[in-house]
Chain A
């Protein structure tokens, strides 16, 4: 029997989850600004799209006021699965640090 493939959690996705867990809900540009240069405007949306496909984040369009023009921004928040993945990664990283530096 084959095991279902475990979702991966690369560094940028961990950072995004960290920021979303800490701040609740953020727009793409806010994530870029709060990452202190670790996330770029040109790549953050691709990463967010991939994370949404994995089920780590969820997003909603903002509600525009009456008569507003332009596209509604999308704000993101971490899902339960995303938070669990982040916790599991943090635990694993702590365990590995203990193994490397007992």
Chain B
């Protein structure tokens, strides 16, 4: 193949990433031929900038689709389905790389959402870290003079009593579940009704007895 003067060969960086994630068979049989044809198509497009750019975008979009298919289809030549491939080889690092790639491969419409989520997530993590340094969380711990295990993650110590933030969290997560999985509607609504009834019964019981019970875990 002869390459147009003054232009870099496209696809080299992509091939490097592919080699990190996929096995040799998948690279040889699926991705290398695809990238070779991508380079050929770009080369045939010639030196006209507009035409060349259009071919580059079109071929890279097709390559993203190929990547998604190879990742998600068992026995596609990629050696393993997505979960086994990712979790078995590079764990969280691959997920961080490939989740945005999956979104972009599905549709370029997600590009803004993916970029925004990454930037917002990074900013939010810095903000939470900064806040936590200035206002360290007080976590309930078991007494050291007992033989009991330290509970570490202590859900009962999270202050949600009368907390409007907790209420919003519950309502919003329920709404997400209802919108995302319509089959859960009956379950979520039944659970909400049952929860309200239990709360009403508990308040009624506390009023007729000696006040609220002491939370022994938080009180330690």
Are B41 and A29 closer than 8 Å at their CB atoms? yes
Give Cα A49 to B75, complex, Å.
9
Query: B70's closest neighbor in chain A, by CB?
Result: A46
Interface residue A70 (Cβ < 8 Å from any Cβ of B): yes
Partner of A69, one of B3, B37, B41, B59: B3
- Judge if B65 is at the interface, Cβ distance under 8 Å: yes
Contact partner, B73, options A42, A46, A69, A74, Cβ 8 Å = A46
Whether a CB of chain B sits under 8 angstroms from the CB of A41 is yes
Which of A28, A43, A65, A68 contacts B37 (CB under 8 A)?
A28
Interface size class of B (residues with CB under 8 A): 20 to 34
| Pairs across A and B, CB under 8 Å, 23 listed | A27-B40, A29-B40, A41-B62, A41-B65, A42-B61, A42-B63, A42-B69, A43-B69, A45-B31, A46-B76, A49-B26, A49-B29, A49-B76, A50-B75, A59-B33, A64-B1, A68-B1, A71-B35, A71-B36, A72-B1, A72-B36, A73-B36, A73-B37
Q: Which 5 A-B pairs have the closest CB atoms?
A: A42-B65, A49-B77, A41-B62, A71-B36, A74-B33
Given contact pairs A46-B66, A69-B9, enumerate 5 new A-B contacts (beta carbons under 8 Å).
A50-B77, A52-B77, A53-B75, A70-B39, A74-B32
